[in-house]
Amino acid sequence: MGKHRSQLKILLLQIRDDQVTCLEELDEFVRFSGLSEEQFELLNGFRTPEFEPTCIEGYDALFIGGSSDASVTQPDRYPFVEDSKRLVLHCLKEKIPVFASCFGFQVAVEALGGRVILDKENMEMGTYRLTLTEAAASDRLFHDVPKEFWAVSGHKERAMCLPQEAILLAFSERCPYHAFKIADKPFYGFQFHPEVDPPDLAARITRYQSRYLDNAEMLTEILKDLKETTISNQLIQKFVDRILLS
């Protein structure tokens, strides 16, 4: 017999240097997973830049969030990038479930042999319409998701190519690689943010507007055009229900 929901323990790898955003991100994962805050243990790359892959021992899954403070393309500047890759590879080898969004997606891409590039021309910041691939129709998480749905996305970097073993599940008009899985492994990556809804996004980009936006008018336009992302946000609890508890 498997574990009860209340017995699950999640290691959340955070790549954020701002305590306010760290707390917000934890709240988002708690809220949309249906788990309690006490079931999450935090590992922050800025506070613990070196860690062993075995740090996942004793946990039922690894969750990785986003980052407005670091880039996977600069491992010399951010020492936790390489350790994050090793942790992801260890989870894949040991079949430990992984839910990786945004920065986590990019770490997984690089760790598994794909490539992440800077692409400011196709930067996404707001809510975007995502389209599913044919592979999503038979996927455990996506099989009951509409062919098109809205999701929060915020990134200047994106995958130029996916790892050879990755199966593409979703894309957008600007970003060709938005979600993938590894066949026969409990491993999912999301360039978009399933853990973020429009109010969360509004708070975050208002705080970080100088990093991403050229002027206040751009912020106003983004906030005015936000769409509901309920379907995207449901993916985290589906991961808990269908991957961790099935």
pLDDT at 214 (0 to 100): 76
CA distances from 185 to 4, 24, 225 (A): 21, 29, 37
- What number is the average pLDDT over the span 113-142? 96
- What number is the average pLDDT over the span 193-205? 95
pLDDT at 95 (0 to 100): 97
Phi/psi zone of residue 34: left (φ > 0), alpha (ψ -120 to 50 degrees), beta?
Answer: left
Q: pTM of the entire structure? A: 0.96
Check the CA dihedral 18-15-99-157 and report its sign: positive
pLDDT at 218 (0 to 100): 87
Q: Beta strand pairing status for 10-14 and 40-44?
A: parallel
pLDDT at 1 (0 to 100): 53
Reported confidence tier of residue 211, pLDDT bands at 50, 70, 90 = confident
**pLDDT tens digits along 60-101:** 999 999 998 899 999 999 999 999 999 999 999 999 999 999
Tell me which residue of 66, 62, 67, 68 sits closest to 88, measured CA to CA: 62
**pLDDT tens digits along 132-188:** 999 999 999 999 999 999 999 999 999 999 999 999 999 999 999 999 999 999 999
Q: What's the number of domains the chain is made of? A: 1
- Say whether pLDDT at 107 is over 90: yes
- A 10 A CB-CB count for 75 gives 16
Least confident of 22-31, 71-80, 132-141, 215-224: 215-224
Residue 116, domain CATH: 3.40.50.880
- What number is the average pLDDT over the span 197-212? 88
pLDDT at 208 (0 to 100): 82
- Give the residue numbers spanning the domain of 137: 5-244
Q: Name the residue type at position 56.
A: I
First vs last Cα of the chain: how many Å apart? Answer: 10
